[in-house]
Structure 1
């Protein structure tokens, strides 16, 4: 069962909401844990006061109590101020989350409008397909475009074969270190530069390896693929030019039949989507910064509070206090034993809280990293317009098990994104070619020339390929994989300070069903 582009993006949006929700929950847990640790420390301080009243003379007791009280008072004031800062930061994150949710909802509504207009244009194209196909000028141009596409395909196949031969037949040359030394030095050409002694020695080496006989063969082996690729690229340009002329003819016919308002509406929706993407990117970056602030505050990393709580902890670890505790342990009185047991319990609880806090901090770091990776994937998803209603994905597990594997860290973001790309297709009847409407049914027939699978070939701007088949980068007018996209496992999403708009292509307002 396949997944449509809009539904796939909605699943990623839902996963993003889950990550943000868990981030918020952990931040709140950390804040509560920090508050509990603070209260445990205050309770511990009070227990030491009680123990001092039982075991110390008033003078020493007053000095000890003063040291604890000073640190405790300052810590309490800082905790109160810290709580206010944290509350403000949490409110800021909540407001940004609400804004992101609203933007996501509004964007989905515009995408739905785009899909409606797309269906209207498809219906109009269906009704005009047969009449346009009977137009002699169109038929002649179509025949020319198909022929040029066949020639381009054949030229590219020859090029790829020559490049394969270069790799295979050139291997013995490349493995001969003496031959390659002379080749790279330019020996035997006008580019060769060496003094008389080196020339003499290189001449001996050349005779030894038969360089003068083998060099022309290696040169030809390298030159032929270059010339063939230049020829193939010229053929591709000609084929694309013919295809563009067909696109213009189709678009003119559609507009004459009343299609222009629909195309204009699609263009308007496209611009709205572009604007939404820019707003969402900026808002996501704002949330990332706000979430870091919440994480810092919820972990008690504010320098002021860290300092004052540290003073309280130091006061409770003073040598005289530890001596007091040790003396109380050595003697067996009911009151001493009760207070010492309570102190031990308080310290054990503080230790447990600190251990849990460390674990939650690590989880929060993981979630933040996963959120940023998912933002990268969503950016590429939209940038390559996989959310277009005509885009489909064969692998249903992308929004199920594979998504869970990514969220758990079982697979990397690059690997997960690669699976999306490999699974993506354009729906039946979709034109991946040029900027025209790509008439279905009795209209325009695309070339069915098979491009070599895995041959590494794609049209220069990734907008010209087999109609309705596996996407080699997109559909219509540069609507596919834009330059500067994710390559080699990396992602192109701009972070804070970048405009983040769709600068490459857009939804294809000319149709192409």
Structure 2
């Protein structure tokens, strides 16, 4: 069953919220575990102080030894106790900051949904003018000529990028033997055989010996060509894309003028204003998500006990409990059969077992928190690409509702990569019937035009025929990434950098 673009985005947003919620819960559990570990260490120190007091005068354990142990453990125990109080306050403050930023993000998401609902109504109004817009455009002979030229240039540009990708793949595969040859790469890095090579006479003589040994003179031109071809093809593809885009811009202008003549200017103005508002909201959400990301890192570090004061106090207490004198004290107590000693020794052993369990729990929570952080960042990246591609538009739809069900679950479990998951979104996306009609694609890249012959008036009039229910593929659909093993290609800016869905190359899909 198909799922609409706005609904799909809401599902992605909901998944991100669920991850953030679980992140907070895991971080809280981690904080409690860290505090429990510190308190267990405190208890162990108190037990050792009591054991030292009971051993006074036994086996040459005198007042000086008892005083030394008691003073050292008491100081470390008190420092840890004082830091624990402050640490709890810091955790509560950080948690409140996260709650506030989450409310801010949710409010922006709600405002975004309201704008999309308004846009959907305006888009329906514009579709009503489709026939009139068609008649106006058909009277312009330049439009048909430019439309055909646009299609030709688009095909050329797409073929150019395919050749570029193949050359880059050849560079990776065929260049591997060269990169694995240490002698060759040493000479390559030094610029041997080029005007950039600099070395004294001795080094030149030695490098010459290495060059003969590795057949460098014959191998260097081949490796240089492997590296050069993709660069030249990429430049060529960019020029072709720019040429195609120039004609596309001219077509956009002609269609916009036709819409205005048909009386659709107020509608297009409302749609353009709505799109600008969406871009502003997305920028605010980007900044809020980055701010939350920083707060989440700080919260996680606090919960993990990485605050310098807390960490130092706990480390000092642990070091105080590892003294050789305490081990000797335990050993002597075990050898002496007294009721007082046996009870304390048993409690100390139990306390150490609890500490061991807490350490294991902390390690597991750390690993879980790390996985959640990675998944949340990847979903944020996908959400950014989703909106940048206009997949959130009311005219957008996806034929696989499993993308927000089972397939989403597979991604969250780590069964598929972020790149693979995003590729399935791209492959499943299409535009609702009528999005390619005159005016129906306003606001979409290329105004919803597909790579076919110019739209005719008859197409608009037959919109109620059996073909009107068919899906229209995205006219600028991007090919999926080869390999799909990483999310490095996502274009979402991070760490407070500025970004816009209207600028920047579409890196994830391998587009222009």
Which residue of structure 1 lines up, in the alignment, with residue 6 of structure 2? 6
Counterparts of residues 302-451 of structure 1 (less than 5 Å) = 302-431=307-436, 448-449=452-453
Normalising by the residue count of structure 2, what TM-score does the alignment of the two structures yield? Answer: 0.70
Q: For the structure 1 residues 413 and 302, does the alpha-carbon distance in structure 2 shift closer, same or farther, using more than 3 Å as the test? A: same
Which residue of structure 1 lines up, in the alignment, with residue 262 of structure 2? 254
Which residue of structure 1 lines up, in the alignment, with residue 508 of structure 2? none
Deviation at 1:262, TM superposition (A): 2.3
CA distance in 1, matches of 2:41, 2:115: 55
Q: For the structure 1 residues 437 and 379, does the alpha-carbon distance in structure 2 shift closer, same or farther, using more than 3 Å as the test? A: closer
CA distance in 2, matches of 1:87, 1:472: 50
CA distance in 2, matches of 1:249, 1:114: 20
Q: For the structure 1 residues 9 and 68, does the alpha-carbon distance in structure 2 shift closer, same or farther, using more than 3 Å as the test? A: same
Tell me if structure 2 keeps the 8 A contact 1:146–1:446: no
Matching of residue 61 in structure 1 with residue 60 in structure 2: no
Which residue of structure 1 lines up, in the alignment, with residue 106 of structure 2? 101
Q: For the structure 1 residues 250 and 397, does the alpha-carbon distance in structure 2 shift closer, same or farther, using more than 3 Å as the test? A: same
Secondary structure of the corresponding residue to residue 429 of structure 1: coil
Secondary structure of the corresponding residue to residue 430 of structure 2: strand
Q: Deviations over 1:296-321 (max 9, x none)?
A: 11001112222221121122221111
Which residue of structure 2 lines up, in the alignment, with residue 195 of structure 1? none
Mark the structure with the bigger radius of gyration.
Answer: 1
Deviation at 1:277, TM superposition (A): 0.3
| Structure 2 unaligned spans of 5+ | 167-173, 175-232, 455-469, 505-512
Tell me if structure 1 keeps the 8 A contact 2:133–2:438: no
Q: Deviations over 1:453-478 (max 9, x none)?
A: xxxxxxxxxxxxxx97311427xxxx
Secondary structure of the corresponding residue to residue 489 of structure 2: coil
Matching of residue 30 in structure 1 with residue 30 in structure 2: yes
Which residue of structure 2 lines up, in the alignment, with residue 263 of structure 1? 268
Counterparts of residues 7-406 of structure 1 (less than 5 Å) = 7-57=7-57, 59=63, 60-123=65-128, 125-126=129-130, 129=131, 131=132, 133=134, 138-141=137-140, 145-146=143-144, 149=147, 240=248, 243-244=251-252, 246-255=254-263, 259-406=264-411
Q: For the structure 1 residues 324 and 253, does the alpha-carbon distance in structure 2 shift closer, same or farther, using more than 3 Å as the test? A: same
CA distance in 2, matches of 1:148, 1:497: 41
Which residue of structure 1 lines up, in the alignment, with residue 498 of structure 2? 499
Tell me if structure 1 keeps the 8 A contact 2:157–2:244: no
| Structure 1 unaligned spans of 5+ | 168-174, 176-224, 439-443, 451-466, 475-479, 506-513
Q: Deviations over 1:151-192 (max 9, x none)?
A: 765788799999999x9xxxxxxx9xxxxxxxxxxxxxxxxx
CA distance in 1, matches of 2:501, 2:241: 28
CA distance in 2, matches of 1:384, 1:264: 21
Between stretches 486-495 and 47-56, larger displacement belongs to 486-495
Normalising by the residue count of structure 1, what TM-score does the alignment of the two structures yield? Answer: 0.70
CA distance in 2, matches of 1:100, 1:109: 15
Which residue of structure 2 lines up, in the alignment, with residue 455 of structure 1? none
Tell me if structure 2 keeps the 8 A contact 1:251–1:436: no
CA RMSD, 1 decimal: 4.0
Secondary structure of the corresponding residue to residue 502 of structure 1: coil
CA distance in 1, matches of 2:86, 2:288: 28
